[in-house]
Each structure stands twice: as structure tokens, then as C-alpha cells.
Structure 1
Amino acid sequence: MKSDKRDHFDRHNLTEDDLLLYAVTDQHWTGKQTLHEQLEDALKGGATFVQIREKHMGDAEFLEEAKDFKKLCAQYHVPFVVNDNVQVGIDCDADGVHVGQSDMEADDVRKLIGPDKILGVSAETVEEAVLAEKRGADYLGVGAVFPTSSKDDAEDVSYDTLKAICEAVHIPVIAIGGITRDNVTQLSGSGICGIAVISAIFGQKEILKGTEDLKRQTLKMLGR
């Protein structure tokens, strides 16, 4: 579990350390374990932030899953956000929401979730990043930095663009898309504060050990 033992997360106490290892759930990877069991292994292994991203669930099932994950993340003192579905994020009292460029505009999301909830926004260009910050984003997810099968419509973002985005904004930036324990160190010096992954955690045979290993490699990438 995290050492600072915070019981509540909002945009005012979100730190870069919270965004170090951002785990994105995907039921595609469930095998013998349930999503709940997989997530708990990831939290035990050192995931510092969790986003529920379940594109193929109905709203009712998605809400129940989100409520369960919110409770579990609170036990491990880790922030929890809902991807895309702002209403589910509000209904389960998530710590915040994350939206993409094709979803609701960031400033409209901010009006719905209020002034204190965490708002993450996906970006692929410097222009998108600067606008997202202006419209109330608290952090950016930038990618895909490597080829990925998790998001078919994700454009490749070069290392130079990633670095330029980090230099252009004043909010934390995490890299997303195709990141593994073997390529994460290629992102050294870009200015990011962490990484967001799906299969690099949930696609591992031993999620707890895989998460621990990925966290070590991420800290190495950051020179820590």
C-alpha cells in the first residue's frame, strides 16, 4: 500500500507520484481471476493510480464495477477515475474522470464534476495538450507512444512530440500506448512523470510480480 495513507483524493492534493504507475483495467485480460482479483494484485504490486476502462459493459454493470473498484482503491489509498462515462464517474463518486478528444469537452466535464474532482484528458499534439490544460485538465495522458492494440484509433506520438508537450504545459503528463517493462526506459528524459498501461499489468501471468517489475523499470526510467 502507499505510504502516505491519504483517505481522499481530489485535484488539489494530486501529486506526480500518484501518476507514476497508472493501471487501466480491461476485462479482455480476465482469465481465472475476476477483474476485482486482478486489480487487487495490481494494487499490491504497487499501482499508484487506477482507471476503469470497460468499453463493452452496459451502464448498470459498469456502475456496479466502478463502485467496487472505488472501494478497493480506497483501501489501498490510490486515486480512482472512470474513463469516458462522466455520469458513472459522478454516480459512483469516483475521484475523477478521464476523457479523450472524441468525448465531451474538458470544460464541459469540469462543469459536471465540480471544481474539486480530478480531470484527466488524452492528447496527441501540443495544441490539444495546451487547450486541455486551459479547459481545466489536471493531468494529460499522451500517446500512443508505442504501437498498441488496445486503442485502434490512437495515433503514434513521437518522442519529440511527447517532450514538446511536457515542456508546453504546467500539469503532469503520463505516457500511454504500448508501454512494456522492456521499452519503458526509452521514454527517459521526455519530461513525463509516469506511465499508463493495460496489458503490461493485466496481461501478465503473475500480475503482482509483473506490476512490481514494471514499477522498478519506471522508476529507473525516471532516474529514481
Structure 2
Amino acid sequence: MTDKNQALRILDANRNRGCEALRTIEEYFRFAWDDSYLTELTKCIRHDFNTAFAASGHTLLAMRDTDGDVGTNISTTTESSRASNRDVVEAAFSRLQQSLRVIEEYGKVVSEAVECELIEQLRYRCYQLHHSFASITAGRERLTDARIYAIISGQESDEDFDKYCTEIIHSGVDVIQLRDKHLSDRDLIARGKHLRQILNTVDLPPLFIMNDRPDLAVLTGADGVHVGQDELTVAETRSIVGPDLIIGVSTHNITQVADAVREGANYIGCGPTFPSGTKSFDSFAGVSFLREVSDRFQIPAFAIGGIDLNNIAEVVEAGFNRVAISGVLSTSVPQDVVSALQPLLT
């Protein structure tokens, strides 16, 4: 068999392998996650993958020799068993990336059979898709039962902060974000370390998120960091906090949500939903934005902005069962607020 015919046979096998892997991934996003955005991304990659072979489909099929394939009877024990659907998808991504590299290399021998430049672009798009999948999966695992996300300030004194933190922690919230634009870095670090110490004394403590500052998140032992649209990117933040801390991103429109997913955010905040007593805004994304996010994305998402017991029904009706609250905690008894919200966010 000539070099060209050998290459065509290899291309045929890896075209099939790549198509099968893409379909496996797409079905997971479609039926397991109900995520129309990632389903659409995967479908576009699959269509472009087929386009790369548009000129050689019949040629590749003619070189197929399944009966003569010495690899059909070779298998490993791990191939016949998967522990979870996630493992199925991870295996599919592995097969896909290997197939794309094989196609890119052997396509150089028979360049007329495949668009190698397009295959190279698809390989990078698949790397990005895999990153999004892994990041959202990590966020979903860390935030599985998280429904109420409390945003607190550093308070006026150490004593006030200690008292307020203890009250918030025991109210039953799932996440606590420390956000204070007025404290010095030293004071903010001190508050963050104290919060960490209190959390370490509690069974099943809420997650601790530092606002805006990945450097301070690391120094205070936080579980994650939340950044806005004007702060560091997800990639820049990840380079500081490392692989284990979760990263949240504030989003105000659908384009920003899509960007957060592509960049590898673990969760997002969506808003502002209503006018807030703790933060002023020029405009409001509103409930319609929440509804659009709920319809298209399955990344963990918290509605934020002026949410209280008077408007929580609108948030839930829009498809959200996670909320971030701040002002309502300082004007009411935190435990009463949380106890009233919890049954509404199941």
C-alpha cells in the first residue's frame, strides 16, 4: 500500500472517531445538561469538522477495510467501563483531541483530502470547549446545593465584623463573599483571615469568596474569588489563584455570559435585577435577562441586585433558584431572611 493510501485509511478511521466523539459530547450537553449554548457550540464544531472532509468523503470510504483492521480486537479494561457520564465525556474529549492531531499530521501527506488549516482551528476550539466543560463541572460540583450567597462588608470594627460574620454563618447561607471597597488591603486581609478562622470552627461551613482580589483570596485562604467586568480576566485570575479556587464573574448581558463560559468561569452572577440599597447602577438587566440565561446556559448562576422577599417570586419564575443578597441581610434578622428564602429556592 502506498504512503498516500495508508494516510487515507488513517484519515478515514480518525474522521469516524472524531465524529463519534463530537456526537457523544453534544448529546451530553443537550440531554444531560439541557445547555443550548454548549450544544450549539459543539454542533458548529461537528459541522465544520465534516466540512473539512467535504472533498474526500467517497475517497476515504473506499479505503476503509474494517475486516482487515488489526486494532478491532485490541481493547483495554478501562474501555469497557465508565464510572459516570462525566467520565464518558472526558474520554470523548480525549479521543477527539487525539483524532484531530492525527488528522492534522497525516493530512499533510494528502492535503487534497482534508483542510488541515481548518482542522487546526477546530483542535483549538475543542481545547476551549473542554476547558468550559471542566470549569462548569467544577462549579456545579462545588456549588451543588448552594442557593443563598451572602455579600458582606468588613464592618466598622473588628468586633462588629466578628459578630456579623457569626450571625451570617449561622443563618444558613451557602456562600459568603467579603466585599469592601473602603478598607485598606491590610485591614481587608485581617478581616478575611478572621472570617476564615471562624469558618474553620463550623461543621459544613459556607464557601468563602473574596471580591475582586485574587491575591487577597490566596492570602486569606478563601475558597474562591469573584471578579467584575472591569477587573482581571478569568485567565489572569486563574494564573494567580491556581487550579483549586473557584472563580465567579459578574455578567450584565448574554454576551458577557457566553464570554464567561468560554473563558472558564466556575459560576456567574447575573444582574442587576432590581434597584439595590447597597450599590447604584445606571441600568438594570432585569428579570428578562435572568430568563434568557436560564433558557440557554447551565453554568451555576446567582441572580443579584435588590433581591428580597417581595420580589423573589419573579426571580424564581424566571428559572433561577440561586440568589445573592446583601442589603436585606443588614436591614433584617439574617436567619429570618434565609429561613424564608430557602423553601422558595429548592
| Range class of TM-score, shorter chain | 0.7 to 0.9
Cα distance, 1:80 vs. partner? 0.2
Aligned to 2:149: 22
AA aligned to 1:120 is G
Aligned to 1:162: 290
AA aligned to 1:22 is Y
Cα distance, 1:169 vs. partner? 2.1
Aligned to 1:219: 342
Size of the aligned set, in residue pairs, is 207
Gaps of 5+ in 2: 1-137
Aligned to 2:269: 141
1:61 aligns with 2:184: no
1:131 aligns with 2:259: yes
Aligned to 1:35: 161
**Do 2:270 and 2:303's aligned partners in 1 also have CA atoms closer than 8 Å?**
yes
Q: Distance in 2 between matches of 1:92 and 1:114?
A: 14
Larger relative CO (CA 8 A, sep 6+): 1 or 2?
Answer: 1
Question: Structure 1 141/87 Cα, relative in aligned 2: closer, same or farther at 3 Å?
Answer: same
1:181 aligns with 2:315: no
Cα distance, 1:144 vs. partner? 1.1
Counterpart among 181, 196, 202 of residue 70 in structure 1: 196
**Do 2:154 and 2:183's aligned partners in 1 also have CA atoms closer than 8 Å?**
no
Of all paired residues, the percent bearing the same amino acid is 25
* Structure with the largest fraction of helix: 2
TM normalised by structure 1 equals: 0.84
Aligned to 2:246: 118
Q: Distance in 2 between matches of 1:137 and 1:178?
A: 24
**TM-superposition CA deviations, 1:17-51 (whole Å, max 9, x none):** 22x111111246x69x6012111111111111100
**Do 2:153 and 2:178's aligned partners in 1 also have CA atoms closer than 8 Å?**
yes
* Structure with the largest fraction of strand: 1
AA aligned to 1:200 is V
Task: Tell which structure's C-alpha radius of gyration is larger.
Answer: 2
Q: Distance in 1 between matches of 2:201 and 2:249?
A: 26
**Do 1:143 and 1:155's aligned partners in 2 also have CA atoms closer than 8 Å?**
no
Q: Distance in 1 between matches of 2:193 and 2:284?
A: 33
Q: Distance in 2 between matches of 1:109 and 1:131?
A: 15
Q: Distance in 1 between matches of 2:317 and 2:267?
A: 18
Cα distance, 1:137 vs. partner? 0.9
Q: Distance in 2 between matches of 1:38 and 1:92?
A: 18
SS at match of 1:91: helix
Counterpart among 78, 95, 109 of residue 237 in structure 2: 109
SS at match of 1:188: helix
Cα distance, 1:12 vs. partner? 7.2
Q: Distance in 2 between matches of 1:119 and 1:203?
A: 29
Question: Structure 1 75/193 Cα, relative in aligned 2: closer, same or farther at 3 Å?
Answer: farther
1:80 aligns with 2:208: yes
**Do 1:181 and 1:213's aligned partners in 2 also have CA atoms closer than 8 Å?**
no
Q: Distance in 1 between matches of 2:201 and 2:221?
A: 15
Aligned to 1:97: 225
**Do 2:273 and 2:306's aligned partners in 1 also have CA atoms closer than 8 Å?**
yes
Gaps of 5+ in 1: 1-9, 205-209
Q: Distance in 1 between matches of 2:262 and 2:296?
A: 12
SS at match of 1:69: helix
Q: Distance in 1 between matches of 2:328 and 2:195?
A: 19
Aligned to 1:6: none
Q: Distance in 1 between matches of 2:224 and 2:283?
A: 25
Aligned-residue Cα RMSD (Å) equals 2.2
Question: Structure 1 211/185 Cα, relative in aligned 2: closer, same or farther at 3 Å?
Answer: farther
**Do 1:143 and 1:175's aligned partners in 2 also have CA atoms closer than 8 Å?**
yes
